[in-house]
Structure formats: structure tokens, C-alpha cells
């Protein structure tokens, strides 16, 4: 079911959404991360290519108070510093503008990884499927 939802998000956003493959990675420090709300195509500003392979151990859950949060690891498999933009959307991917939440994780060292968390993801009252998109920004 999640794979089908991610595939639908791929088509609607013209970019990849992905979920963790269950691999583990040890986190290393990052120089900064920012979180911003996103509307529309779930991309805050122009970013680079979709890199779903950079996302590991992704989790998206609603807590007891009904608030959604997501977490996971971003892995830089390259040979230079890399930055990523992670966008999480809760609901049905309809192709129309929807609210999502985006976090930028900057300057991950080569062959390094960084844990991230995104809190208070906007969601419809009835909840829905959690979709994620990872773009490389540097």
C-alpha cells in the first residue's frame, strides 16, 4: 500500500518520494537544518534532483494528541558536502495544491549521515497516507 502511494506521489509531483529500505546508518553532525511549511507541489524553492536513495529508516506517525511527525536519516554517499530538502505530506495525493512541511538539512559530510525530525506536519482531520520527497540541493 505504501509503495503504491509513493508511486502516485511520484507521478503527481514529477519527482520521487521514497521510504526507508530498513538499512541502518550512524548519524553524524550537520551544520544546520531549517523547517518550512510548503504549499502546492511540496517544493519550497528550486532544488536539485530527486534522491530517494539518500533516505534511510523513514518513520511517519501520529502521536496521542493527533499531531504528525516524521523522522529518518539522510545519507551522503558522494565525495563532497551535500545538502538535502525533505518534504512530508499527509493525505491523499490528488494533484491539487496541499499543505506539507519541508526541512532543509545542510552540509552533510561525504559518506556521512544525519538524523532529522519534522514536527507538526499539517494533515487533514481524517489523516491519510504519509508521503515523502527528498531532493538534493547542493
Report pLDDT for 97: 84
Residue 106's pLDDT is 96
Q: Is 124 helix (H, G, I), strand (E, B) or coil?
A: coil
Radius of gyration of the chain (CA): 14
Domain residue limits, the chain = 52-137
CATH code given to domain 52-137:
2.60.40.3230
Per-residue pLDDT of the chain (138 residues; tens, 9 = 90+): 333 333 333 333 333 333 333 333 333 333 344 444 444 444 444 578 999 999 999 999 999 999 999 999 999 999 999 999 999 999 988 888 889 999 999 999 999 999 999 999 999 988 899 999 999 997
- Residue 28: per-residue pLDDT: 38
- Give me the pLDDT at residue 101, please: 97
Which residues, 6+ apart, have CB-to-CB distance to 89 below 8 Å?
9, 42, 98, 99, 100, 121, 130, 131, 132, 133
Amino acid at each position: 500500500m505504501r509503495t503504491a502511494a509513493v508511486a502516485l506521489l511520484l507521478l503527481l509531483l514529477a519527482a520521487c518520494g521514497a521510504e526507508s529500505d530498513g538499512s541502518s546508518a550512524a548519524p553524524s553532525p550537520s551544520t544546520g537544518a531549517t523547517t518550512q511549511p510548503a504549499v502546492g507541489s511540496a517544493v519550497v524553492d528550486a532544488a536539485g534532483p530527486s534522491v530517494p536513495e539518500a533516505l534511510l529508516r523513514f518513520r511517519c506517525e501520529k502521536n496521542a494528541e493527533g499531531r504528525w511527525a516524521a523522522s529518518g536519516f539522510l545519507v551522503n554517499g558522494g565525495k563532497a558536502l551535500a545538502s538535502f530538502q525533505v518534504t512530508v505530506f499527509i493525505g491523499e495525493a490528488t494533484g491539487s495544491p496541499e499543505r506539507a512541511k519541508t526541512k532543509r538539512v545542510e552540509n552533510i559530510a561525504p559518506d556521512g549521515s544525519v538524523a532529522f525530525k519534522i514536527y507538526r506536519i499539517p494533515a487533514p482531520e481524517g489523516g491519510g497516507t504519509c508521503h515523502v520527497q527528498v531532493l538534493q540541493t547542493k
